[in-house]
Amino acid sequence: MDNIIQEAKQAMIKVLEVLRQDIATVRTGRAAPSFVENIIISVYGGTAKMRLMELSTITTSDAQTIVITPFDNSIIGEIQKGIQDANMGLNAGSDGQVIRISVPPLSQERRQQLIKLMHQKLENGRIMVRQVRHDAMDAVKKERDGISEDEVDRVEKEVQKVTNDFISEIDIIGKNKEKDLIQI
């Protein structure tokens, strides 16, 4: 029965990792490499599709500028085109060696839209955690044969405690991101 708890914990950890990556893509008023690192770029004449982080080093030079240094300078144009095609409202400029993206400040209306989007992503994370809990509870019911009622109750309470802990972690992630979004 303890393996059910461990499997549920592992599944919830994976949900949290996916959620963190997803939340990182919601842009704040500051430049961050996470905005662009997962953009898919068609390179080498369209023969390969790779994530931007696989093609370059991505850093920030200040709070409003993302600097992309490609490993291969021959694909700078393709990277710029890929960033434009990603429809993120970012304009990439190049000097032949590096690409600079100036991140415009967010309007109050746009901040509210991003907060709403973030809340949707957080709720999806909560739903996925609850689904893991549901699956674990089903597994407990299936393995009920030959196990005392006290043991079943203990496992169900432990699964619920783990679920509550992960929901709390999701709430903390949301509060921290919301602070970043509200901050000008």
For residue range 148-178, list pLDDT tens digits in order: 888 889 999 999 999 999 999 999 999 998 8
Residues 139 and 176 in one domain: yes
The whole-number pLDDT of residue 172 equals 95
Q: 81, 102, 123: which is the final residue of a domain?
A: 102
**Pair 42, 65 in one domain:** yes
* pLDDT for 184: 58
pLDDT given for residue 11 in this prediction: 95
Rounded-to-integer distance, Cα 127 and Cα 7, Å: 17
The predicted pLDDT at position 119 comes to: 93
Domain of 158 in residue numbering reads as 2-24+107-182
Residues 85 and 127 in one domain: no
**115 and 98 in a common domain:** no
Q: Give the total number of structural domains in the chain.
A: 2
pLDDT beneath 50: ranges in the chain: none
Q: Which CATH number covers residue 68?
A: 3.30.1360.40
According to the model, what pLDDT value does residue 170 have?
95
pLDDT score of 90: 77
